Structure 1
Amino acid sequence: MVIRLSERWPEVGPDRLLSECVPPPRFADVRFATYLPDPDEPSQTAALEALTDRATKLAAPRRAPTLWSRLRTSRPDPGKPGIYLDGGFGVGKTHLLASLWHESSGPKMYCTFVELTNLVGALGLRTAVDALSSYRLICIDEFELDDPGDTMLISRLLGQLVAAGVELAATSNTLPDKLGEGRFQAIDFLREIQGLAAHFDVRRVDGPDYRHRGLPVAPDPWPDEKVERTAADRPYASCDHFVDLHRHLAELHPSKYGALLDGVETVGITDIRPLSDENVALRMVVLADRMYDRNLPLIAGGVPLDQLFSADMLKGGYRKKYLRALSRLIALARAS
């Protein structure tokens, strides 16, 4: 029987949300030893060394503060509580971040920035702080501020977690003090953005940038009838009309998009259409990320995937999100 994602209403409790905050299957086996820095890009080697040093520190048992350590007035500078890898697509930032998580002792958490904001939105700030304050390390992939609400929320969250002794690590395509530019009036939230940036030791990771190599060529779309027929023939395949799917996503909290794909091994979508609504487009980005995490092949009808987002969208403040989503969707379509 074909699965209809648009007919599913998953319920996701706090325990599941927290338990799923681990590197996705694609990065389950990566380690520092499997990261091969480009010899022509010394910043990659430097980033590897910096995270390896931090992992060594985080692998050691946590020591409780002694009375003497509390009374000492001159203590060595422990450094910033976070490390932030800035660089283009395809230079291995996520590989390094996941390796840090794997090689550090717990309790620890790994999530994308979107997953973190969704988690806090689902739990509430107070509950999230209570739940995460005991963690030793929180790794945040694809750090980006999309709106003023995110800025205020994450500023408060990370400030309280750092005060509780939590170490942070993050990756992004944007320097911390430039977060939010092109998306909202970042200057109005400069104090919060600067406060976030102050938590991190920034390390640039250079290399060939996906944004400058052009989009990958999308495969030809399938006829809708073939999408439906193939989905019916494959075990645990879903198939939905594009409009039904994106309307359904609007009725679900994004923290449930992963659970929406439970038990699915192939995703089929018919009659894909160019998007003009940014809200719809951003929901599709989140779904694409969850599909990519799970390595789900995509069989797609309608317009070619590289026409999903308009030219104006690909020039706007969310262009990095859309480029990443296109790259991932096209890769999943080629895997079908």
Structure 2
Amino acid sequence: MDTEIRTASAPSQPVPQGDAGPFAVYEARVAAGTLDRDPEQEKAARRLDRLWRELRDYHPVVMQRAAARPGLFGGLRARLGLGGGRGAQAGPARPRGVYMVGQVGRGKTMLMDLFFDLAPVEHKRRVHFHRFMQDVHQRLHDMKVAQPDLADPIPPLARQIAQEAWLLCFDEFQVNDIADAMILGRLFEYLFADGVVVVATSNTRPEDLFQDRPGADAFKPFIDIIMREVDTVILDSPRDYRRGGVRGMRTWIVPADAAAKAELDTIFTHLAAGAPVQEVDLDIMGRILHVARAAGPVARFDFSELCGRFLGAGDYLALATRFPNLIIDNVPRMGPDNFDEARRFIVLIDALYEQNVKLFASAGDQPDSLYERGQGAKAFERTASRLEEMQSASYAQLPHLSA
């Protein structure tokens, strides 16, 4: 699956100095009216704020490992000064990470955006968990090819990851692959032993990861590690902010004039819910799709950016799985003379529709009049029908399909 990678040594927007941590910024956005106060989000913001303060004085000491480490948890016990490992050195106490759990639309991504940008850490990485595991498997393969006599590649791999970033922020933490499940316990043992701090968002509680699947028993040690080393914060708000944000807003605005642009500006700000506007790169099997304007759960493009260049189904699926909301400015009337653009638009709408993405657009005409008569008009009929359905109240209630 196409995923987003964000690696940073500097935040995507200026970070307030002093005591302006996640909770202070959350409170400021509530006071400014860009966020509604939510007790569950406030609870999570307070926990992230505590971690932010602990990180200001934390600098992990990566020690030399002994040739052998006894037991699954031996390295972790040694790292924490509990004995059971040779060569352990005393280091600063590692702050406990945070694992935010909640259904779609509860504000997990917004809170992660806020925390990641403010985190006072030079070497930090934010990545979709599925993409992280793809990278892990690729590195393991490369290490085995380069060093065929290497008995155990997990320790040096964990060392590489820890040296690159000792704050790891995972979006959509989920385990569905038995190959991932078999690696995770030992990999995270070594990561935690090297002082790595983990923050994650997920729809699944740690104790429910990879349950009722073949090999679930072998996965339990990893669950034990997560439960012991990372605090779980449940966002149990009854309100789905992604769905609520769609009600009452026009989704198809005609004509595509200055007033339409201003209306889409307002919609973009509302859907962003206080998240910073920033650039995002989506990794599509090693190729990067650049999103010039995104904020939390929404991205915005001009029609020419999406359909006037050589993009395909994989690009559109990447956008559709990453962003629950998409704004498109200046959708033109189309016909045989620009059928290539129309064809890409058809593929784009199919991807958005299949993933239940909420589309907001300014256009030269209504969907059923968007394509002029002539070659290609028949192929556009289904797209026009889908565009009409995507404006309905029932479609607005559908949950976004992120994978």
**Against the structure 1 CA distance between its residues 197 and 60, is the aligned structure 2 distance closer, same or farther, given a 3 Å change threshold?**
closer
Q: Are the equivalent residues in 2 in contact too, given 1:60–1:105 (CA < 8 A)? A: no
**Against the structure 1 CA distance between its residues 207 and 81, is the aligned structure 2 distance closer, same or farther, given a 3 Å change threshold?**
same
**Against the structure 1 CA distance between its residues 128 and 288, is the aligned structure 2 distance closer, same or farther, given a 3 Å change threshold?**
farther
User: Residues 233-282 of structure 1: CA distance to partner in whole angstroms, max 9, x if unpaired?
Assistant: xxxxxxxxxxxxxxxxxxxx94425x14589972239xxxxxxxxxx99x
Return the TM-score normalized by structure 2: 0.48
Instruction: Report the aligned-residue RMSD.
Output: 5.0
Distance in 2 between residues matched to 1:112 and 1:261, nearest whole Å: 16
Q: Are the equivalent residues in 2 in contact too, given 1:109–1:137 (CA < 8 A)? A: yes
Deviation, 1:52, is 0.7
The yes-or-no answer on 1:49 pairing with 2:46 is yes
Larger radius of gyration: 2
Deviation, 1:44, is 2.1
> What secondary structure does 1:301 align onto?
helix
Q: Are the equivalent residues in 1 in contact too, given 2:9–2:123 (CA < 8 A)? A: no
Deviation, 1:162, is 0.6
Q: Are the equivalent residues in 2 in contact too, given 1:148–1:189 (CA < 8 A)? A: no
Of 261, 264, 267, the residue aligned with 2:306 is 267
Q: Are the equivalent residues in 1 in contact too, given 2:94–2:197 (CA < 8 A)? A: no
Q: Are the equivalent residues in 2 in contact too, given 1:23–1:98 (CA < 8 A)? A: no
Distance in 2 between residues matched to 1:104 and 1:152, nearest whole Å: 33
Residue of structure 2 equivalent to 1:141: 171
> What secondary structure does 1:207 align onto?
coil
> What secondary structure does 1:88 align onto?
coil
Q: Are the equivalent residues in 2 in contact too, given 1:85–1:171 (CA < 8 A)? A: yes
> What secondary structure does 2:307 align onto?
strand
Distance in 2 between residues matched to 1:131 and 1:208, nearest whole Å: 41
Residue of structure 2 equivalent to 1:165: 195
**Number of aligned positions between the proteins:** 254
User: Residues 79-104 of structure 1: CA distance to partner in whole angstroms, max 9, x if unpaired?
Assistant: 87321011122332223223332332
Higher strand share: 2
Deviation, 1:169, is 0.7
Distance in 2 between residues matched to 1:287 and 1:149, nearest whole Å: 27
In the alignment, residue 148 of structure 1 is paired with which amino acid?
I
Return the TM-score normalized by structure 1: 0.56
Of 172, 175, 181, the residue aligned with 2:205 is 175
In the alignment, residue 301 of structure 1 is paired with which amino acid?
I
**Against the structure 1 CA distance between its residues 78 and 130, is the aligned structure 2 distance closer, same or farther, given a 3 Å change threshold?**
closer
Q: Are the equivalent residues in 2 in contact too, given 1:113–1:140 (CA < 8 A)? A: yes
Residue of structure 2 equivalent to 1:35: 26
Distance in 1 between residues matched to 2:162 and 2:205, nearest whole Å: 26
**Against the structure 1 CA distance between its residues 268 and 216, is the aligned structure 2 distance closer, same or farther, given a 3 Å change threshold?**
farther
**Against the structure 1 CA distance between its residues 112 and 297, is the aligned structure 2 distance closer, same or farther, given a 3 Å change threshold?**
farther
Deviation, 1:64, is 5.3
Residue of structure 1 equivalent to 2:145: none
> What secondary structure does 1:116 align onto?
helix
Distance in 1 between residues matched to 2:210 and 2:351, nearest whole Å: 25
Residue of structure 2 equivalent to 1:316: none
Of 196, 203, 213, the residue aligned with 2:233 is 203
Deviation, 1:45, is 1.8
Residue of structure 1 equivalent to 2:114: 99
Deviation, 1:109, is 1.2
Identity among equivalent pairs (%):
21
The yes-or-no answer on 1:288 pairing with 2:303 is no
Q: Which runs of 5+ in 1 are unaligned?
A: 1-16, 221-252, 270-279, 310-321
Residue of structure 2 equivalent to 1:235: none
Residue of structure 1 equivalent to 2:7: 21
Distance in 2 between residues matched to 1:71 and 1:160, nearest whole Å: 12
Distance in 1 between residues matched to 2:221 and 2:206, nearest whole Å: 11
Residue of structure 2 equivalent to 1:117: 133
In the alignment, residue 49 of structure 1 is paired with which amino acid?
R
Distance in 2 between residues matched to 1:28 and 1:210, nearest whole Å: 27
Residue of structure 2 equivalent to 1:82: 97
Deviation, 1:111, is 1.3
Distance in 2 between residues matched to 1:190 and 1:73, nearest whole Å: 24
